[in-house]
Amino acid sequence: MNATNLKLCFIGFGEAAEAFWSGMDHGPVASVQSFDSLTEAPGTPAQLAMQKRCDALQVPVCANLATAVNDADVVISVVTADQAYAVAEAAAPLLTRGALFLDCNSCAPQTKQASARAIEAAGGRYVDVAVMAPVNPGKNRTPLLLSGSHTEQAKGVLDALAMNPTIEPGPVGTASSVKMVRSIMVKGMEALFAECVLAGRLAGVDTQVLASLEHSHPGFDWTKRAGYNLERMTQHGLRRASEMEEVCHFLNHLGIEEPLSASTVRWQNRLGYSGIVAEPANYAVTTDAMIKTFQLTPMKEVQR
C-alpha cells in the first residue's frame, strides 16, 4: 500500500481517536471520516461531546458504519474492549478489499484472533495493535506494538502518519499478549491504590502509610501517584473494567485463576460508575468523595 492519499476511517471517536488524529501528520491523508455508536443515541450528553470533538478536529461523523468504512483503505478501530469483536464482525463485509484494519482495542489474544478471522475472510488485512501507554499526553507518539501478517504494511502507513509503531514478531495475538499481561500490573496497581488510600483515609492513617511507602520505595512519589490513579479510574474505569474482563479471559485460557484481576474489574467498575469527579492533584479530596458516595464511616466516627 502506498502511504499517500490515504482514506482513513475511525471506528469509535473517544479519547484515543481524538489523541491520534490531533497529533498525527495529516499530509498523507486524502480523506477522513468516523463512526461511533453514540450517533445512535442523538442528543445525549455523550453523543454531543463526541460530536463536538469531531467538529473541532474537522472529522466528519457518518450516520452508519457502512458509510464510514466505504472506500477507506485504513480503518482504525478504537472502541471499548467488549465491543471490539462485534465491530470487527460488522465491519468485515463492508470493507474495501485489501483495506488495513488496525485493531487498537485492549482485548485478549483470543478475541483478536477471532476478529482477524472475520476481517481476513472478507478480504481485509487485519493487524493486532497494542497501545502501550496512555494516549495523553503522547497522542500520535504513543508507543504501539504491531503483530500479525500485515505488520510491514501497517508500519509503513503509521510511520507516514508520524505515529510510533514497533513490530512485535509473531502472529495476531502476540502484541495483545504483551498488553494484557502488562495490564495485570498497571490496572491492578490502580485498584490497589484505591483500596489502600480509601482504607487509610477511613482509618485516619493515609498520610503515614504513603510516607512509609515513599521511604521504602523512594522516587515513586506515592502521594502524587495516588491522585493520578484515582483520576484515571473515575474517568476511565468502565473502559478499564472491560479491558480487565479480557485479561481474565486470557488468564483462564492460560489455566490461571484470576482472583486479583477479577477484583480489579470490580474496583474499576465501582469507580467508573461512581460519578465522582476526581481531583488528580489531591487524592484526599477524591477519597473523601468516595467515602460520601459509598456511604462509608470513618473509623474515628465509629469510635465516638
Would the pTM of this model clear 0.85, i.e. be above it? yes
Q: How far apart are the first and last CA of the chain?
A: 72
Could you tell me where in the chain the CATH 1.10.1040.10 domains are found? Answer: 177-302
Low-confidence ranges of the chain (pLDDT < 70): 1, 301-304
pLDDT in tens, 227-257: 999 999 999 999 999 999 999 999 999 999 9
- The pLDDT value given to residue 52: 92
Could you tell me where in the chain the CATH 3.40.50.720 domains are found? Answer: 6-172
Going by C-alpha positions, the residue among 243, 229, 237 that lies closest to residue 268 is 237
Query: What is the Cα–Cα distance from 146 to 133, expressed in whole angstroms?
Result: 14
State the architecture of 6-172 in CATH terms: 3-Layer(aba) Sandwich (3.40)
- The pLDDT value given to residue 259: 94
- The pLDDT value given to residue 121: 98
Query: What is the Cα–Cα distance from 53 to 51, expressed in whole angstroms?
Result: 5
- Residue with grid cell 454531543, as numbered in its chain: 48
CA distances from 39 to 17, 42, 236 (A): 16, 6, 20
As a whole-number percent, the residues of the chain with pLDDT over 90 amount to: 93
Q: What is the CATH number assigned to the segment(s) 177-302? A: 1.10.1040.10
